[in-house]
Structure 1
Amino acid sequence: MWRDEAVTFQVARRSVPQIWRLLHGVDAVHGLYYLLLHAVLAVRPGEVLLRLPSVCAAALAAGLVAALGARLARPRVGLWAGLLYAVTPLVGHYAQEGRSYALVCAGAAGATLLLVRALHGCSWWPYGVVLALTCLLHELAVALVLAHGVTLLHARVGRRDGARWAAAAGAAVLVLTPLAVVSRAQAGQVAWLPRPGTGSALRLLHAFLGTGGPVFWTCLLLALAALPGPRRLTLASVALPWAVVPPLTLLAVSQLRPMYDDRYVLYALAGAPLLVAAGADRVLGAKSPLVPLAGTLAVALAFTQYLPLYRQDRTLRGRPDTLAAVSALAAREVRPGEAVVFLPAIGRRAKVSHPEGFRGVRDVALEASGPASGTLYGRERGAAELRRALLALDRLWVLAEPYALRSPWYPRNPAERVKLTVVTEEFVPGEPRREFVRDGVTLRLYTRRPATPAGPPAPPPAPPRPGRR
């Protein structure tokens, strides 16, 4: 597990009241997902069940993409689109990660298929329900509503269908409103996101259509060949807004308030293989029974180009960090009873996700655990109390994030400033020097700074010289 998966793992194992309390302060956007994983991990906590919902959701999304292609075009288009979606590396990455993004993709594909069915005479309420659940899994999926609106405008649907869509979509947005209000107060969680530029858009284009080379250019040309023609409901009129509108909307909004990340618009990727498959169908046009086989072989050939990415994605190099390795390092170096301080407090995630490596260790700054305090990583002592606790130590292990020991870092939190100040002013790296770096995290032993020698005693003052009479 890397850090985001570790959050899922430790939050989902809390009780429902503890999860509910946490969501009032942090991570409300993932609340429904945490509750779902709570039920899943109740069977048996572990990495396999943590990731199993994402695997199933990605497989379901591929099937739904195929169903859309078959319904709006013909079976071979559905076959090609579903297979191409399944082998796309970005899909594969989030299919085996314990976060909500693959489930959001399945929900978006299901809502889009239900939209098409409703426009052909089926009930509208399943569309509204699935759309609402998808947005509750991640609120930025609400941009899918805009994509569907563009589809309906292009298809020139009747006033009656337009009103029914507006009612279903409006109900979904209304359900989402309380979550949006709560999560707005938690916007600091994405304060690290930069303002996206042209590079972000190009990177996403390559992620949707291929990492580069002949696969990318072939997919791009086929997608262009599928651009919508007559103003009616076609596969291209559904797929193009789905692939384009959510990313462009989030990129535009992020120019004013950065909140863009590729994974937040992953659900829009499904429109790209549909366009590619529709373009291939238009280019080939033949009715020969060998054409579906030829398209399938082309997808298999593309998959062979992606194999190195898939292999790397399933090694430790495919993760930004490995918290189990950090925990193992602490278990090897820190003895039971020794004191450790996490700088900053978010570094405690290794202990929270893999407590076995920190068993018996004194967490000097911790006042209340995460479940008890309704936080992710626990509540720490106040600045004054923490200073007294640190000054009472002669030996201290510091587990620090990469930036925490650099001189330009100046934390706003008073407790973090106390940690940094006391460690740098009252302690020195232990002798012999003991420092270990693992997955970007530094574990360093500090000992109390020796007192400065007082020097030789001052000579007594000379007796006063007798003055002249």
Structure 2
Amino acid sequence: MLWTFAFGLWGLSRQDSVWRDEAATWQVAQRSTVEIWHMLANVDVVHGFYYLLMHLLFECFGPGTTTLRLPSVLATAVAAACVAVIGRRLASAWAGLAGGMALPLLPAVQFHLQEGRSYALVAAGAGVTTLLLVTALQRPVRTRHWAAYSAAVLLMGLLNWLSLMILAAHLATLLWTPAERGVLARWAVAAGCATVGVLPLIVFSRNQSAQLSWIPPLSWHMLIGPGVLLAIGGAGALLDRPRAGRLSSSTVGLPLLAVPQLGLIALSLIQPIFLDRYILYSMLGLALLIGTAVGSAVRAVKPRFPAASNWVLPTVLALAVPALLPQSLAKRSPASRVDDVLAVASDVRHLKQTGDAVLFVPSARRDSKSVCPEAYAGLRDIALAETPEASGTLKGTESAPNRIRAAILAEHRVLVVTDASGVARPVTADRDKMKTTILRQYFTPVADEQIRGRRVTVYERDKPYPNRA
């Protein structure tokens, strides 16, 4: 836990940058509970439980990058501790320690270790539920134990219902072990209760599935990453083969790694949803199997070189940490994310003049204003018809294209906040096409700054109003 916590605190602010996914958390967490409920009826209901939790934290500790990201650091530390305990119980103390210390070093985990989103919290839930399952298989447990298991799975599902795939991974472990009928029955009741609790969220969120339309269809090159992970995990499981057929690191770690990966691939064949962050918790299985490999190395060295066996893990870490240092530095830099809403707000602050107007292309780039309203003070948001808070959305409701056209032509100076040229996608909405067309026809850019994936262009009108007859 201490290793992971220290690793998470390193570079926590990422040079005071916040990217668009975290900006969604930031802006929603600052709304009232009533406004959050209003928004969840229209968008992002799948993240509703997490937003309410972050709202409580923002109320208690104030908004900031530390409040935004520290929950993920603490959650990953809990997940690492669970991996260490599971590895110790199923293999050896060295295997547990190696697995727990390997978890925060994995590149995918490093990315979400300092992310203001729910995925690290789901990983912590996966660690707790898997530890509870191992406990149930190792010793007699009471009803309250299964109640705790069910509650932990329920919380995972409320944070992200795709995490319920962990139940399939746990079932694979139970069948592989194999577990007693009584244990299987109690597990089925606990899993069923948790699933029933999450079911309303699953049904309601299907009405908002259009939010996932930007995810590309599954392709062969997207399978390279999962293939590499499964190969590494499979190699670790082979080292545990003498223990296969009963509870061991392989019977717990391999299903935890493989089932969510394969399950998400299967679901993506129906609807494109293949994003590795949805199954970040599967990295606990990989870490457990890596720890098993290190533990096996210690066990192999110890009979002939007892003193040297104590240096196997330190040696592995001494090689792994420098090798992964470029990745570690990259994950902690603003360039590791698509854009930075705080940086572009700073540009707006020094480019704006009294009486200026502002446009956002596309409207989702209004997240910068929602996170840093003080930077946009004095600017008229001429396209906005209803604020994000009042409309129950993340980006607000904009006026009809003809009204926006008239509003633009009534201005002398307009600031346009959009994506940087390197990451910008062609505009598709009629409103956004109209905005860019009118600006090109009747305005001239007089200032243009790009920083960390965002762009601010200042336009001044150089042509008279068009003939409206």
Scaled by the length of structure 1, the TM-score of the pair is: 0.87
Letter in 1 for 2:95: V
Q: Which runs of 5+ in 2 are unaligned?
A: 1-17
Q: Deviations over 1:247-300 (max 9, x none)?
A: 111012212310011111110001112112223434534464653442243133
Partner of 2:447: 434
SS, match of residue 345 in structure 2: helix
Letter in 2 for 1:83: M
Partner of 2:56: 39
Distance (whole Å) between structure 2 residues aligned to residue 129 and residue 229 of structure 1: 31
Pairing 1:69-108 to 2, within 5 Å after superposition: 69-108=87-126
Question: 1:155·1:231 contact (CA, 8 Å) conserved in 2?
Answer: yes
Partner of 2:220: 198
Partner of 1:340: 358
Distance (whole Å) between structure 2 residues aligned to residue 453 and residue 155 of structure 1: 77
Letter in 2 for 1:271: G
Partner of 2:4: none
Q: Which runs of 5+ in 1 are unaligned?
A: 210-215, 455-469
Pairing 1:56-455 to 2, within 5 Å after superposition: 56-119=74-137, 120-122=139-141, 123-204=145-226, 206=228, 208=229, 221-227=235-241, 230-283=244-297, 284-285=299-300, 286=302, 288=306, 290-402=308-420, 409-411=427-429, 414-425=430-441, 427-430=442-445, 433-448=446-461, 450=463
Q: Deviations over 1:336-355 (max 9, x none)?
A: 32111111111111111122
Structure 1 residues 160 and 104, CA, compared in 2 at 3 Å: closer, same or farther? Answer: same
**Shift of residue 436, structure 1, vs aligned partner:** 2.5
Distance (whole Å) between structure 1 residues aligned to residue 196 and residue 176 of structure 2: 25
Give the structure with the higher percent helix: 2
Q: Which has the higher contact order (CA 8 A, sep 6+)?
A: 2
Structure 1 residues 290 and 243, CA, compared in 2 at 3 Å: closer, same or farther? Answer: same
Question: 1:13·1:41 contact (CA, 8 Å) conserved in 2?
Answer: yes
Partner of 2:9: none
SS, match of residue 62 in structure 2: coil
Distance (whole Å) between structure 1 residues aligned to residue 420 and residue 199 of structure 2: 38
Question: 1:84·1:273 contact (CA, 8 Å) conserved in 2?
Answer: yes
Structure 1 residues 408 and 332, CA, compared in 2 at 3 Å: closer, same or farther? Answer: closer
Letter in 1 for 2:260: P
Distance (whole Å) between structure 1 residues aligned to residue 415 and residue 35 of structure 2: 30
Letter in 2 for 1:173: T
**Shift of residue 47, structure 1, vs aligned partner:** 0.6
Scaled by the length of structure 2, the TM-score of the pair is: 0.87
**Shift of residue 451, structure 1, vs aligned partner:** 5.2
Query: Number of aligned pairs?
Result: 441
> Of 11, 15, 24, which residue of structure 2 is paired with 1:7?
24
Distance (whole Å) between structure 1 residues aligned to residue 66 and residue 196 of structure 2: 35
Distance (whole Å) between structure 2 residues aligned to residue 322 and residue 439 of structure 1: 6
Higher CA-based Rg: 1
Letter in 1 for 2:353: R
Letter in 1 for 2:393: T
**Shift of residue 324, structure 1, vs aligned partner:** 1.5
Structure 1 residues 358 and 228, CA, compared in 2 at 3 Å: closer, same or farther? Answer: farther
SS, match of residue 269 in structure 2: coil
Question: RMSD of aligned C-alpha atoms?
Answer: 2.6
Structure 1 residues 76 and 439, CA, compared in 2 at 3 Å: closer, same or farther? Answer: closer
Letter in 2 for 1:446: Y
Distance (whole Å) between structure 1 residues aligned to residue 433 and residue 252 of structure 2: 53
**Shift of residue 453, structure 1, vs aligned partner:** 12
Distance (whole Å) between structure 2 residues aligned to residue 230 and residue 361 of structure 1: 66
SS, match of residue 443 in structure 2: strand
Q: Is the aligned partner of 1:19 residue 2:41?
A: no
SS, match of residue 259 in structure 2: helix
Partner of 1:466: none
Question: 1:195·1:258 contact (CA, 8 Å) conserved in 2?
Answer: yes
Distance (whole Å) between structure 1 residues aligned to residue 286 and residue 466 of structure 2: 72
Partner of 2:10: none
Question: 2:98·2:294 contact (CA, 8 Å) conserved in 1?
Answer: no
Letter in 2 for 1:177: L
Structure 1 residues 21 and 187, CA, compared in 2 at 3 Å: closer, same or farther? Answer: same
Identical columns (%): 37
Distance (whole Å) between structure 1 residues aligned to residue 423 and residue 291 of structure 2: 52
Distance (whole Å) between structure 2 residues aligned to residue 257 and residue 16 of structure 1: 32
Structure 1 residues 227 and 321, CA, compared in 2 at 3 Å: closer, same or farther? Answer: farther
**Shift of residue 111, structure 1, vs aligned partner:** 0.5
Letter in 2 for 1:328: S
SS, match of residue 436 in structure 1: strand
SS, match of residue 254 in structure 1: helix
Distance (whole Å) between structure 1 residues aligned to residue 466 and residue 254 of structure 2: 76
Q: Deviations over 1:76-119 (max 9, x none)?
A: 21111111113223222211111111111110010111111123
Question: 1:236·1:275 contact (CA, 8 Å) conserved in 2?
Answer: yes
Distance (whole Å) between structure 2 residues aligned to residue 204 and residue 41 of structure 1: 36
Structure 1 residues 22 and 403, CA, compared in 2 at 3 Å: closer, same or farther? Answer: farther
